[in-house]
Structure 1
C-alpha cells in the first residue's frame, strides 16, 4: 500500500475516533501518526463471510501490513476476542456467537521482517460444523485481534481487529405445496403486536408466475396496518419483465410499490420488505429494488398469513408448486448488508426478531417459531417434503 493512501485511511479513522484536534488531515505528516500494524482486509470493512463446506476444512486468508518499514523484525499473533464480536453485534444488530474452539486454526506465528511492509497471506482454517451446530440455528463468527508479541510496532486499534462470518452449508428439508397453503399464525390474531418499524423476509421457490394477485404475505387489518405482498404486475409480458413477475407491496392507505427487479420461476429467491415507519423499501435477492414514502405511523400485526388467497374469493395460485424456507418478521429495520448476509440462516436470538419459521421440520403441516415466542404456523394443506436441499442450491427439482 502506498504511504499517502494509508495516511488518508488513518485520517479517516482519526476523525471517527474524535482525534481531529490531534491530526490535521489536510496536510497530514506521516511522522505525526507513527507507524502501526494493521489487518489489510479491515481497511475496507469490519468483516467478511466465509462459506464453510459440509466436510473437511475451509480456508480463508488475512494479510498483516505495516504503515512503514521497520529496521527490526516484528512478531505478532492473532487471538480470538469476544469483545470484538460483541461490538460487531451491537453495531450491526446481529446475534453471532463465537465459533467454538476446535473449529478453527489460526497461524502460530506472524512475522513482518525488517525492511518489509507485510507478511505473506495468512491462512485460517475453518472446520466443518457439527450436526448439533447446524441444527441449533445459531450464526457463528470468528472475531480476531492482532496482538504484538515482540517488536516495536503496535497494531492500530481500529484496523487491528476483524470478524470472519462463518456460514455453513446447511442440508435441510422443505415443504412443497401445490396451490396456496394459507399458513396462519393464530397467536398474532389472538394477541396483535404493534411495531413502529419492521422487516418481513422469506426465501422461496415457485413453479411459475402464471397469474396475478398471488399473495406471498398478508396482514389483515385497517388501512393503517394493511400489508399485502403479491405477484401482480405487469399484466402481460413486456420488454423488461415477464407477466406477473413483480412482487408488489400494497400497504398503508392502499399505497403500492412495484419493485425494479423481478422473480424467476424454478429458482430459490429472497424477498424482503423493510418499513421504517415512514417509507417502504423492497429488496429482491438482497438488491435494493425501490422505495415509497407512506404516512407516518406504527403497524399492528393481527392476521399473519403466508401464501394465501389474494383479494379475490378464490386462489389464483391454482396448481402452482411452492417451496418455502426462512420466513421472518422483525420489529427493527434490517439493513441491506444484514439482508444480504443472512438469507439462508439467522440466529433465533437476533435482536428484534419476533417470529422465525425455518420450515425444516421434515414432516407434518405445523411449523414452529424458532424464536420460542410461540408464533406457530398451521395449515390444513398437506405438503410433500423434499429432502437433501443445500443452502447453496440455486434451484430444487420439483416432485
Structure 2
C-alpha cells in the first residue's frame, strides 16, 4: 500500500518531469537506477509498477506490459545467476495496459500481487520480471530498461544445532560411490554463529570444520581467537580481514576458481590470494576437529546454520542471491545440509544426491537455536 500511495503522490505532486538519458524513450519506472527491486512479500501483498517517459508526452500513450519469462532466462544466462520464475498460480498481474496521460511522464499503475505463498519454497530465489511489450504510439522503448525484475523477499526462520561439544565433533566420510575426484574448481559455504572465541587450550586454534584438506580455523599462529584462517590444501592459507563477533550469524563462502582463492563474508568479498592449480576431491564433511586427542583442545563453541559444497566456482552475484537458501537442484550443488531439522541426529542433504550426515544413534544433538531469522 505504501508503494501504491507513493506512486500516486508522484503523479499528483511532481507532474511532468524530464529524465536525462542518452536518448528519449520509455522505460519501466525505477530501472534507470536499478533494474532489480526487492518485493518484501512479508510486508506488502502487492507491488505497484509503472512506465516512465523520459520526456513529457504530447498525447495519451498506451503501453502494454506483461510478465516476461524470457527476460529472466536471458538475465540468468548473462550473469550466471539461477533466479527462478514465480509459479504461475502464486501471483497475478492486474492491469496490463497502463496510460501515460498527455502532459505527463509517468503512467498509471499496474499491480503485481502474491496470491498464494504456499507455492513458494524456502531457499529458492524467486523473481517476477515485467516488461514493456508494446506501445500504441511511435515512441521507442529503451532496451536496457525494458524490464523490471521484482525479487521476492521474505523472512525465513531456521533452526540450528549446537556443535560446541566433543560428541558432535565428527568426521563424516562419504560412501565410495558418492566421492567426487579431480575437482579443479569449487565453492564451499558454512553458516555459523559463535558462542565464544575463547580457546580451550591457549596454544591451540579453534577449528570450525573442513572438507577434504580444506579447513577453517580461528586463532592460528598467534592471531586472536576471532580471526579466521582458510586453508586450501596444505600450502595455501588465507587470513580473513573480518574480526568476527560472538552471537552473530555469518555466511562464509570460499571460492576456488583454479587460480585464486576468495573468501566472502555475508556475500561481501573479504580477501583473496593466488593459488597453484591443484586437484581436490569431495569425500566427506568434518565438523570441528575430529583428529583423536584434539576434539576438546580445538573445540568450536557455537552453532552451525548450514553447509554447502559446489563443484564449481560461484560468482559474487550468485553468492549474494543464496545467502538465505538455495535451490537444491542448482547446477553444481553436490551437497546442501541446511541443518534446520530442529530435532534428531541426522543432517539431511536436500539435493538429489542425498549424501546425508548421520551421527551414531547414541549421540544426541542439541537444538538450542530454533527461531533464527534470515531476510532474503
TM-score normalised to structure 1 length: 0.77
- For the residues of structure 2 that align with 1:233 and 1:113, how far apart are their CA atoms? 66
> After the TM superposition, which of the residue ranges 335-344 and 268-277 deviates more from structure 2?
335-344
Higher strand share: 2
Query: Which of residues 41, 44, 60 in structure 2 aligns to 1:73?
Result: 60
The offset of 1:373, in angstroms, is 0.8
Alignment gaps of 5+ in structure 1: 8-29, 221-225, 237-242, 394-399
- The 3 A distance-change label for structure 1 pair 185 and 154 is farther
The offset of 1:315, in angstroms, is 3.0
Corresponding residue of 2:191: 203
Corresponding residue of 1:179: 165
The offset of 1:84, in angstroms, is 1.5
> After the TM superposition, which of the residue ranges 111-120 and 338-347 deviates more from structure 2?
111-120
> After the TM superposition, which of the residue ranges 141-150 and 60-69 deviates more from structure 2?
60-69
Corresponding residue of 1:360: 340
1:92 aligns with 2:79: yes
- For the residues of structure 1 that align with 2:136 and 2:172, how far apart are their CA atoms? 59
Contact 1:52 1:128 in 2 (8 A): no
The offset of 1:164, in angstroms, is 1.6
Secondary structure (helix, strand or coil) at the match of 2:342 reads coil
1:247 aligns with 2:235: no
> After the TM superposition, which of the residue ranges 110-119 and 185-194 deviates more from structure 2?
185-194
* Deviations 1:340-368, CA, capped at 9 Å, x for gaps: 22211111111221111111223211112
- For the residues of structure 1 that align with 2:256 and 2:192, how far apart are their CA atoms? 21
The offset of 1:249, in angstroms, is 0.8
Q: How many residues align?
A: 351
Alignment gaps of 5+ in structure 2: 1-16
- For the residues of structure 2 that align with 1:317 and 1:94, how far apart are their CA atoms? 37
Secondary structure (helix, strand or coil) at the match of 1:118 reads coil
Corresponding residue of 2:256: 275
Secondary structure (helix, strand or coil) at the match of 1:106 reads strand
Q: What value does the CA root-mean-square deviation take over the aligned residues?
A: 3.0
Query: Which of residues 21, 36, 40 in structure 2 aligns to 1:6?
Result: 21
Contact 1:261 1:289 in 2 (8 A): yes
- For the residues of structure 1 that align with 2:323 and 2:289, how far apart are their CA atoms? 22
1:164 aligns with 2:153: no
TM-score normalised to structure 2 length: 0.82
The offset of 1:105, in angstroms, is 4.2
- For the residues of structure 1 that align with 2:25 and 2:105, how far apart are their CA atoms? 11
Contact 1:98 1:142 in 2 (8 A): yes
* Deviations 1:73-97, CA, capped at 9 Å, x for gaps: 1122431121122222223333332
- For the residues of structure 2 that align with 1:77 and 1:363, how far apart are their CA atoms? 51
* Deviations 1:27-63, CA, capped at 9 Å, x for gaps: xxx5xxxx4211243334442333331xx74454545
- The 3 A distance-change label for structure 1 pair 296 and 178 is closer
Secondary structure (helix, strand or coil) at the match of 1:158 reads helix
1:221-300 to structure 2, matched below 5 A, reads: 226-233=213-220, 235=222, 243-300=224-281
- The 3 A distance-change label for structure 1 pair 92 and 77 is same
Secondary structure (helix, strand or coil) at the match of 2:273 reads strand
